[in-house]
């Protein structure tokens, strides 16, 4: 089974389990680390996840993976919170985190409202409409960024 196929199946199983436990699956990574593969799942809930949440999810998901038995390579399972710089992946995340400080990186250069071309945008997330993410940049300009060219987006910790 290819890495992409593993990711699709793991994501489907993990989303179902997370929902049943009152958790949200934020992200899944399946990548090589040295000689072995690492399957990382990031979970969250309102108020943040605890170590017990991660341990409970890990235990139940590990049993589920043993039953399904579709990952042929040796792997290590890691479950954790997404951290303070939580990734923003889905359209609903852009709605949910409106008003928060975010950092977006795009696949290509885009101009902000002042005409400055850049690939990295740091500012307050205004929201998303019709697949266009709008942020108020720290320098004051606005940026409208098509969702499909965002390479990476994260919340930024505000001091």
At 26, list the tokens: 């934020």
pLDDT of residue 24: 93
pLDDT tens, 136-151?
999 999 999 999 999 9
3-state secondary structure of 19: helix
Which domains, and CATH codes, for the chain? 3-80 (3.30.300.70), 91-155 (2.30.30.100)
Tell me the backbone φ, ψ of residue 7, rounded to 5 degrees. -60, -45
Say what percent of the chain tops pLDDT 70: 99
Q: Is the pTM of this model over 0.85?
A: no
pLDDT tens, 33-70?
888 899 999 999 988 899 999 999 999 999 999 999 99
CA dihedral 135, 136, 137, 141 (to 10 degrees): 120
- Distance between CA 147 and CA 41 in Å, rounded? 23
- Distance between CA 106 and CA 121 in Å, rounded? 8
Query: What does pLDDT average to over the chain?
Result: 93
């Amino acid at each position: 089974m290819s890495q992409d196929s593993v990711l699709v199946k793991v994501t489907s199983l993990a989303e179902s389990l997370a929902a049943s436990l009152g958790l949200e699956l934020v992200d899944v990574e399946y990548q090589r680390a040295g000689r072995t593969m690492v399957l990382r799942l990031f979970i969250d809930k309102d108020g943040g996840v605890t170590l017990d949440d991660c341990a409970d999810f890990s235990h139940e998901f590990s049993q589920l993976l043993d039953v399904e038995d579709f990952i042929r390579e040796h792997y290590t399972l890691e479950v954790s919170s997404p951290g303070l710089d939580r990734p923003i992946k889905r359209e609903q995340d852009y709605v949910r985190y409106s008003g928060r400080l975010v950092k977006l990186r795009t696949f290509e250069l885009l101009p902000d409202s002042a005409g400055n071309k850049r690939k990295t945008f740091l500012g307050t997330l205004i929201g998303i409409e019709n697949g266009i993410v709008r942020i108020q940049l720290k320098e004051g300009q606005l940026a409208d960024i098509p969702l499909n060219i965002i390479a990476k987006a994260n919340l930024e910790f505000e001091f």
